[in-house]
C-alpha cells in the first residue's frame, strides 16, 4: 500500500519520551507522521516531513495513539439497567447479577451474541479504540466458555478466559469441583485464549482458588491477569504479583503495602472508573499509585453489570476529575498504559516502528477529551487491518 503523510497536526502525542517535549506523552506541535501500510516510518516537525504517496492535512487538530482498552467483557446477551437504578438508589454491588447475564448468554445464539456484541464493538471503535481485550466469563460451563472464547477470537487476539468469574448456581454446593473444572477441562477447551483471569474477591473466588486457576494457566502457557480488590481487599494483589500477572484490574481498595508491592513489580494497575461510576463506589486514587511509581492503565470494563461503558473518552474524563490524574497521565494510561497491561510493545505509542493506529480528534488539544466530557471528539480512527487486535 502507498505511504501516507499526516501533516499539519496541531498537537501530536506520541508517548515516546525521546520526542518533542520529552515528557512521557512525547508531545510535538506543528507535527507530521508518515505511515506505510502498517507502521509509523517517520515522525517529526511538519516543516521537515519527507514526501509520501498520499498527503492528508489535518488542519491543526490533535492526533494521539489509538486507545488500548485492556479490559472488556464485550460478549454477553441482555442488560441489567434495573440493577443500575437500584444502585443509584443506594443498593451495593456484590456480583450477584452476574448469574442473570450467564442465563441470558447461555440462551443466546451465536448470531445474537455477534449482533449485540458487534454494536458495542462498533461504539468502542468509533470512540478511538484500536486494540481491545475481550473476556469470556458469562457461560461458566465447558461448552459455553469455549463458545465465548471462539466468538471473542473473531474480534481480537487479546482474548481472556474467565471461567472463574463466579461459581455458577449448579456448583454452589461443591465449589472445589467447579475450581477443578475451570483449572482442568474447561481451561483445556479454552486454551486458544491468550490470557487467564479470575474474579478474586468477596462473593467470587478466594486467593487459594484463584491461585489454583492461575497456576494451571501458567502450566498451560496462558498469560495471566486478575480482577482484584474491587469489592474488598482479600490479598489478591500479592497473588497477582507473585504469579507475574500482567495486570491487576479495579484496585478500588488497595493497602499501602500493596502499593509498594505493585511499584516494585512488573504488574500494571488497571483502573476502571466506569465501574466506580456505575456502582456508585468511591474512586481509588490514581495519583497515589502514580506517585508511588506504579504503572497505571485505564480501561472501560465494558460489561452489563458494573460498567456498561463503551467510551474511552468518558473513562479519561472520570480519571482526571475523580482519580487525580492529569490529562496527559490519563491519555497515557488509556494508550501506552493499556499496551503495558497487555504486554504489547507495538501499540499505545507512535514511535517509528509502532503500528500506525491513531486517533484524530475534532479538537486542537488532547485536553479536550476531559475538558468537554460527553462530547464525541473522535473525528477519525486509523487502524491497521493487518492484525485483528
Binding site for Fe ion (CB under 5 A): 301
Q: Shortest distance, CB of residue 227 to ligand NIG, whole angstroms?
A: 5
Closer CB to ligand NIG, residue 79 or residue 387?
79
306 binds, among ligand NIG, Fe ion, none (CB under 5 to 8 A by kind): ligand NIG
Closer CB to ligand NIG, residue 130 or residue 279?
279
Q: Shortest distance, CB of residue 241 to Fe ion, whole angstroms?
A: 19
247 binds, among Fe ion, ligand NIG, none (CB under 5 to 8 A by kind): none
383 binds, among ligand NIG, Fe ion, none (CB under 5 to 8 A by kind): none
Torsion of CA 166, 311, 386, 381, to 10 degrees: 180
β-partners of residue 262 are none
C-alpha cell at 291: 506517585
160 binds, among ligand NIG, Fe ion, none (CB under 5 to 8 A by kind): none
- Cβ-Cβ contacts under 8 Å for 254 (sequence gap 6 or more): 229, 233, 237, 262, 269, 284, 289
Alpha-carbon span 363 to 365, nearest angstrom? 6
Instruction: Give SS3 for 156.
Output: coil
Q: Shortest distance, CB of residue 95 to ligand NIG, whole angstroms?
A: 6
304 binds, among ligand NIG, Fe ion, none (CB under 5 to 8 A by kind): ligand NIG
Q: Provide the strand spans (E) within the chain.
A: 4-13, 27-35, 40-45, 54-57, 62-65, 67-69, 129-135, 158-164, 195-200, 223-224, 226-228, 247-250, 268-271, 296-298, 358-361, 378-382
246 binds, among Fe ion, ligand NIG, none (CB under 5 to 8 A by kind): none
- Cβ-Cβ contacts under 8 Å for 93 (sequence gap 6 or more): 83, 87, 231, 279, 281, 305, 306
The position carrying cell 492503565 is: 297
144 binds, among Fe ion, ligand NIG, none (CB under 5 to 8 A by kind): none
Closer CB to ligand NIG, residue 61 or residue 98?
98
> How far from 309 is each of 64, 120, 138, 361, CA to CA, in Å?
21, 9, 17, 20
230 binds, among ligand NIG, Fe ion, none (CB under 5 to 8 A by kind): ligand NIG
Task: Report the residue closest to Fe ion, judged by CB.
Answer: 301
265 binds, among Fe ion, ligand NIG, none (CB under 5 to 8 A by kind): none
Q: Shortest distance, CB of residue 306 to ligand NIG, whole angstroms?
A: 4
Alpha-carbon span 219 to 251, nearest angstrom? 26
Q: Shortest distance, CB of residue 216 to ligand NIG, whole angstroms?
A: 20
Task: Report the residue closest to ligand NIG, judged by CB.
Answer: 305
C-alpha cell at 270: 488497571
C-alpha cell at 345: 510493545
Closer CB to ligand NIG, residue 26 or residue 304?
304
CB 316 within 8 A of CB 264: no
Closer CB to ligand NIG, residue 66 or residue 304?
304
- In the complex, the residues that contact ligand NIG under the rule CB under 6 A are 73, 95, 97-98, 101, 199, 227, 230, 275, 301, 303-307
C-alpha cell at 257: 503495602
Q: Shortest distance, CB of residue 150 to ligand NIG, whole angstroms?
A: 20
C-alpha cell at 42: 517517520
Q: Shortest distance, CB of residue 46 to ligand NIG, whole angstroms?
A: 42
Closer CB to Fe ion, residue 31 or residue 248?
248
Closer CB to ligand NIG, residue 76 or residue 382?
76
Angle, vertex CA 213, rays to CA 208 and CA 214, nearest 5 = 95
Closer CB to ligand NIG, residue 20 or residue 305?
305
Closer CB to ligand NIG, residue 17 or residue 235?
235
Amino acid at each position: 500500500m502507498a505511504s501516507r503523510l499526516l501533516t499539519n497536526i496541531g498537537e501530536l502525542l506520541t508517548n515516546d519520551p525521546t520526542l518533542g517535549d520529552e515528557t512521557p506523552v512525547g508531545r510535538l506541535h506543528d507535527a507530521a507522521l508518515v505511515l506505510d501500510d502498517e507502521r509509523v516510518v517517520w515522525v517529526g516537525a511538519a516543516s521537515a516531513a519527507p514526501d509520501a504517496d498520499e498527503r492528508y492535512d489535518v488542519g491543526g487538530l490533535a492526533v494521539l495513539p489509538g486507545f488500548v482498552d485492556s479490559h472488556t467483557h464485550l460478549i454477553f446477551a441482555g442488560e441489567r439497567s434495573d440493577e443500575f437504578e437500584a444502585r443509584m438508589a443506594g443498593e451495593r454491588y456484590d456480583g450477584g447479577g452476574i448469574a442473570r447475564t450467564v442465563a441470558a448468554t447461555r440462551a443466546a445464539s451465536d448470531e445474537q451474541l455477534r449482533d449485540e456484541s458487534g454494536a458495542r464493538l462498533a461504539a468502542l471503535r468509533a470512540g478511538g479504540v484500536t486494540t481491545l481485550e475481550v473476556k469470556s466469563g458469562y457461560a461458566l460451563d465447558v461448552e459455553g466458555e469455549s463458545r465465548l472464547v471462539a466468538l471473542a477470537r473473531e474480534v481480537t487476539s487479546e482474548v481472556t478466559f474467565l471461567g472463574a468469574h463466579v461459581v455458577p448456581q449448579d456448583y454452589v454446593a461443591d465449589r472445589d469441583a467447579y475450581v477443578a473444572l475451570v483449572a482442568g477441562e474447561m481451561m483445556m477447551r479454552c486454551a486458544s485464549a491468550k490470557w487467564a483471569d479470575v474474579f478474586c474477591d468477596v462473593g467470587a473466588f478466594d486467593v487459594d482458588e484463584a491461585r489454583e486457576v492461575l497456576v494451571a494457566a501458567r502450566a498451560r502457557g496462558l498469560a495471566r491477569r486478575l480482577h482484584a480488590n474491587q469489592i474488598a481487599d482479600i490479598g489478591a494483589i500479592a497473588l497477582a504479583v507473585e504469579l507475574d500477572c500482567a495486570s491487576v484490574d479495579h484496585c478500588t481498595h488497595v493497602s499501602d503495602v500493596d502499593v509498594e508491592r505493585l511499584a516494585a513489580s512488573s504488574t500494571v494497575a488497571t483502573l476502571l472508573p466506569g465501574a466506580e461510576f456505575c456502582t456508585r463506589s468511591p474512586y481509588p486514587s490514581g495519583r497515589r499509585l502514580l506517585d508511588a511509581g506504579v504503572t497505571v492503565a485505564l480501561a472501560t470494563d465494558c460489561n452489563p453489570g458494573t460498567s456498561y461503558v463503551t467510551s474511552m473518552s468518558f473513562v479519561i474524563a472520570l480519571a482526571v476529575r475523580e482519580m487525580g490524574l492529569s490529562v496527559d497521565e490519563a491519555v497515557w494510561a488509556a494508550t501506552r498504559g493499556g499496551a503495558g497491561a497487555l504486554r504489547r510493545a507495538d501499540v499505545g505509542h507512535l514511535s517509528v516502528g509502532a503500528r500506525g493506529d491513531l486517533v484524530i480528534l475534532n479538537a486542537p488539544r488532547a485536553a479536550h477529551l476531559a475538558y468537554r466530557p460527553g462530547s464525541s471528539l473522535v473525528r477519525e480512527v486509523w487502524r491497521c487491518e493487518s492484525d485483528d487486535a
